């Protein structure tokens, strides 16, 4: 990217070689007519990623961050402007026309599925684009397994990224209860950090209190085990159906 800048090109989208290689190769193959699903599966195999990576759709969906300065494509908001513009909303161009990935729907309906975990990513920029594709939210709700969210908020702050900033700018309280409300009707329980244990009674769902800050591989494994154990407590529980029916009413 530095060489591009020296040649007078637009180099604000600063990426390392590995990131840039993925973007360039993915774009080339998409233009050649391959699906995003096929490209991701092939790249995962070549990079020795064992987990199946399934895009939400093979159709184009673009995140637009609306700010006081006007709408910005996500990459420009996040990288070029370093999340500094004041956010007034987020929309997803193409989402309404997109078709859900059939492989993803099959995975959500698979007999071996034990739980669905919404990781502690930014709800507005990372999770909402997925939920905006028609058919995905209903597929999550009808999967018949616990849907557990891990709160991205610890002590009114996000560990990384602009989640807390966006919440404040949208007039949303910066706590796990607000995250639970954002996922209203979709999740059955939430895992929150031990620093926010006092908020557990305000969430309105089953709550597991744990250390959610992940600084090491051991932290990641421990949190994953905690989430799965929490989800297992819902297995076969009639409260799942009652909770979702109540949320849909």
Sheet with strand 70-73: strands edge to edge = 70-73, 62-67, 87-93
| pLDDT on residue 57 | 98
Q: What SS3 class is residue 71?
A: strand
The terminus-to-terminus CA distance of the chain in angstroms comes to 52
pLDDT at 249: 45
> By the 8 A CB rule, do 41 and 58 touch?
no
Mean per-residue pLDDT pooled into runs of 10, the chain (249 residues): 66 73 93 97 95 96 97 93 96 98 95 93 96 96 92 92 95 96 93 95 93 95 96 68 48
pLDDT value at residue 5: 66
Q: How far apart are CA 143 and CA 242, in angstroms?
A: 15
Here the tokens at position 69 are 């300065």
SS3 content of the chain, % helix, strand, coil (to 5): 45, 15, 40
Q: Where do the structural domains in the chain lie, given as residue ranges?
A: 1-53, 56-248
pLDDT score recorded for residue 162: 94
What pLDDT score does 238 carry?
Answer: 45
Residue-level pLDDT at 121? 93
Q: What integer pLDDT is reported at residue 17 of this predicted model?
A: 78
Q: Which helix (H) or strand (E) holds 41?
A: helix 36-46
Sheet holding 116-118, edge to edge: 116-118, 147-150, 189-193, 206-210
CB 240 within 8 A of CB 146: yes
3-state secondary structure of 245: helix
Q: May I ask the CATH architecture of the domain 56-248?
A: 3-Layer(aba) Sandwich (3.40)
């Amino acid at each position: 990217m530095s060489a591009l800048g020296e040649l007078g090109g637009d180099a604000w989208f600063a990426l390392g070689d590995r990131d840039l290689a993925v973007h360039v190769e993915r774009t080339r193959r998409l233009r050649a007519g391959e699906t995003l699903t096929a490209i991701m599966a092939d790249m995962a195999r070549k990079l020795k990623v064992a987990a199946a990576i399934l895009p939400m759709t093979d159709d184009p969906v673009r995140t637009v961050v609306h700010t006081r300065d006007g709408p910005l494509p996500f990459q420009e908001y996040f990288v070029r402007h370093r999340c500094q513009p004041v956010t007034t909303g987020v929309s997803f161009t193409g989402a309404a026309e997109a078709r859900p990935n059939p492989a993803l729907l099959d995975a959500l309906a698979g007999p071996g599925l034990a739980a669905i975990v919404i990781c502690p990513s930014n709800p507005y920029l990372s999770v909402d684009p997925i939920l905006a594709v028609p058919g995905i939210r209903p597929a999550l709700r009808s999967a018949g397994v616990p849907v557990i969210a891990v709160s991205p908020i610890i002590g009114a702050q996000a560990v990384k990224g602009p989640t807390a900033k966006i919440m404040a700018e949208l007039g949303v309280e910066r706590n796990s209860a607000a995250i639970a409300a954002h996922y209203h009707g979709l999740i059955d329980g939430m895992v929150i950090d031990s620093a926010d244990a006092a908020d557990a009674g305000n969430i309105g769902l089953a709550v597991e209190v744990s250390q959610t800050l992940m600084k090491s591989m051991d932290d990641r494994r421990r949190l994953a085990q905690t989430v799965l154990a929490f989800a297992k407590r819902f297995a076969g529980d009639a409260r799942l159906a009652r909770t979702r029916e109540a949320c849909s009413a």
